[in-house]
Amino acid sequence: MAQPPDSAKRVLIVYKSHDARADRLARDISAYLADRGAEGKLLCYGDVEFNRTGHWDLAISVGGDGTFLFTARLLLDLNVPILPIHMGTFGYITEISGDEWLSALPSCLEGDFNLSRRSVLQAVHYRGEKEVARHIAINDAVVSCGTISRMIRLTLEVDGRMLADFRGDGLILATPTGSTAYSMAAGGPIVHPEMEALILTPICPFSLNFRPIVLDRNENISVKIGENRQKSLLLTIDGQVVTPLESGDRIVCEPTDLSVPVITSRRRSFLDVVQSKLGWAGGPDA
């Protein structure tokens, strides 16, 4: 249970402006907040010019999982609880549907909600000894080739020990929250979202022996790009931020104390969502 403020007065509403349903719902929520004497600030998904100064009691993402991921990265170090409302095509992270917002929001405004702390992945991009960039991933960091049907060579080290030297389409470094995204589609395991773990899932490895592995997220993990003829090597963060890579570059996973405070549904558990949305084990009626 979160330690509530007296009542949420400033609420950030992030929504997809080009989605008519999300646009309408975001404005309905803003009007609802105004009637209660609270401020509902509307922010379009993808607006990176947003001024983060000032205090926010609550954030609401209106859209799919992508809208939530954008909101989480935007507010990451501000420790603002996020209420994800599902308006997308699937919505695994966004457990609360667009039809449930009116029953969920009043208690959230009073600080009465279930809060799930989600660990994140800090991926540091090195070229030689120079740090090129630092990225925070809520779901995953993916090293891959931008060209279809082209393999790349990668070397994986854990705590200074060479764990794998392989060729394939790439490697997914996933958080527990991201275990049900690209990693799962590539054959990775489903991991409870509140675990302190990191999932390494190869993408179509040219080997029968390299399989996904779950590691402690505090281990020193390094992925080095081998000599490759391809020019379109990429690091992709949460499917939204893309950075070009070169042969010899390294991606190092460094520990971080940052986490994402996510408000979860009281109507369904993690396993309920896995069964109903992913059809795991045939669902509850199998």
Cα-Cα-Cα-Cα dihedral sign, residues 13, 88, 267, 259: negative
C-alpha 278/C-alpha 46 separation (Å) is 27
How many angstroms from the chain centroid is the CA of residue 34?
30
Q: In what helix (H) or strand (E) does residue 20 lie, and over which residues does it extend? A: helix 20-35
Q: Which long-range contacts (CB under 8 A, 24 or more apart) does 248-251 make?
A: 248/127, 248/128, 248/224, 249/125, 249/126, 249/127, 249/132, 249/224, 249/225, 250/125, 250/126, 250/222, 250/223, 250/224, 250/225, 251/123, 251/124, 251/125, 251/126, 251/141, 251/143, 251/173, 251/222, 251/223
CA dihedral 181, 61, 83, 259 (to 10 degrees): 60
Decide: 222 and 156 in contact? Cβ < 8 Å: yes
d(CA 171, CA 144): 7
The encoded tokens of residue 85 equal 């409302």
Cα–Cα distances in angstroms (integers) from residue 152 to residues 2, 188, 213, 271, in the given order: 45, 20, 20, 36
65 given a catalytic annotation: yes
CA–CA gap between residue 119 and residue 217 (Å, rounded): 9
* Catalytic residue chosen out of the listed positions 23, 57, 65, 249: 65
Which residues are annotated as catalytic?
65
